[in-house]
Structure formats: C-alpha cells, structure tokens
Amino acid sequence: MVRKKPPTKAKTLLRNDAYEVILMAIIVGDLEPGARVDEKQIMRDFRLGQAAVRDALFRLSLEGLVERHARIGTRIGDLGLRELQDVFEARILVEGYAAALAAHRASPDDLAAIRAAYDGYEAVVEARDIRALVAMDRAFHRALAAACKNTQIEQTAIRLHNNAARFWCFGLKRTSVEANKRQIREHLMVVDAIERKDFAEIDRLLRGVLGHFPDSRFLMFDPLRPGERPDVPAAAE
C-alpha cells in the first residue's frame, strides 16, 4: 500500500492562511450570518486555491462558524443569543482556568506578548479601524491562551473566542471611543492580575471582559451568579 506524503510546509501555510482569511471575513461580517457559501466566489475574492478553501471551511464547520448540509450546501452560521450564552458560559470556565494557569506558568515574555497585543490601541480606536481592533483582540486572547501552557485548553479557548468575536464585532461600530478604550484597559488589567497571581481579581475582571459586548442585546450573565449582570455599555458617540 502506497503511503500518502504528508503536506509540505508551504501547503500547510497556505491552508492556515486561507483559514485565517475566511475566519476574519466571518467575524467582521464580510461573509454574513446565514449567507450561502460560494466556494468559487471565495476563491476569487481572496485569491485562494480550492483545496485551501475547502480545508478552511471544514475546519470552520468543526467550530460551528460554518454549517454544511447534504444536498443543500454550505452556509455561514447564524448569530443567536442562545449560542452566545453557551459560548459565554464555556469561556468563563475555559479562559478563566487558562488565566489561572498562566498565573502559575507564564514567563515574563509570555506576559509581555499578551500586553503587546494592544500596543497602539488608542490610535486604532480613535481611527475606528474595526479590522485592526478585531486583530488586536484575537492576538490578546490567543496569547493569553498560549500562556497557560496546555495545548488542549489553548485550542478550546481559541475556538470559543472565534465564536464570541462575531457578536463583539457586530456592535463595535456603535460603541463610543471611550467605551472601547475602557474595555481594552480592563483587558490589560487582567494581565496585571495574572502577574500578581491575584486569582480573585482575575476571575472578577475576566467575567466583565468576557461578558461585555458592544450591543446591549448581547449582555451575558453567569447563571450560577444570577445577581451579577454586566454594566450596560456606554452609548455611541
């Protein structure tokens, strides 16, 4: 039996690039919720090969961002409050534990990488550069997940963040500049708490960070703490 050759490094990079490009398009709404996926159109729009696109769509379907139906086709997953609440509850458990592990395991370089994700954020917020803000937010949460030094937790945290990012981005344009800056400062306070190994503060801050969405329709709460609700975001300027 002839054994298949493993994919070359170049092919792996191309497939990862395709995944990241299509993921960003879903998060920022270029590929709208519920829309039918046209593989050939995606290939033309993003200058990607068919194999890379199909591989990316398969990976995204495993995350629930893309739905594949026999004899119907492929579509972008809908934005639903039930799905968001599910993701929020899971993120509290997974990312909260990841941050606690990071307090024990993260090196100074790990902490610096998490903080560096938001370098220059004030100018980006004032410019209303949504794509750059999304990229910064993803870099922050990916670096935080990596700092826990547990591959399974890291991968799960990233998958959950990919789902949550769509909701966060949906209302971002309607949020005030100061509200956006305040939320980023709260993200950076999480890193300070990790560095101090202040586990109570890590938990408190993360619940606020993970439960905040720029659209008031998407206010999340922990069912185990029904008396605690996130503050309503500031009105847009």
Q: In whole angstroms, what is the distance from residue 139 CA to residue 36 CA? A: 29
Tens digits of residue pLDDT in 92-101 = 999 999 999 9
Arithmetic mean of pLDDT over the chain: 85
Range of weakest confidence among 41-50, 81-90, 145-154: 81-90
Q: How confident is the model at residue 4 (pLDDT cuts 50, 70, 90)?
A: very low
221 pLDDT more than 70: no
- Domains of the chain, earliest start first: 9-76 (1.10.10.10), 81-218 (1.20.120.530)
234 pLDDT more than 50: no
Q: What is the per-residue pLDDT for 138?
A: 94
At residue 198, φ and ψ (nearest 5 deg) are -95, 90
Question: If you average pLDDT over residues 20-33, what whole number do you get?
Answer: 93
Check residues 176 and 218 and name the one with the higher pLDDT: 176
214 pLDDT more than 80: no
Q: What is the per-residue pLDDT for 82?
A: 82
176 pLDDT more than 60: yes
Q: What is the per-residue pLDDT for 5?
A: 46
Q: In whole angstroms, what is the distance from residue 111 CA to residue 146 CA? A: 10
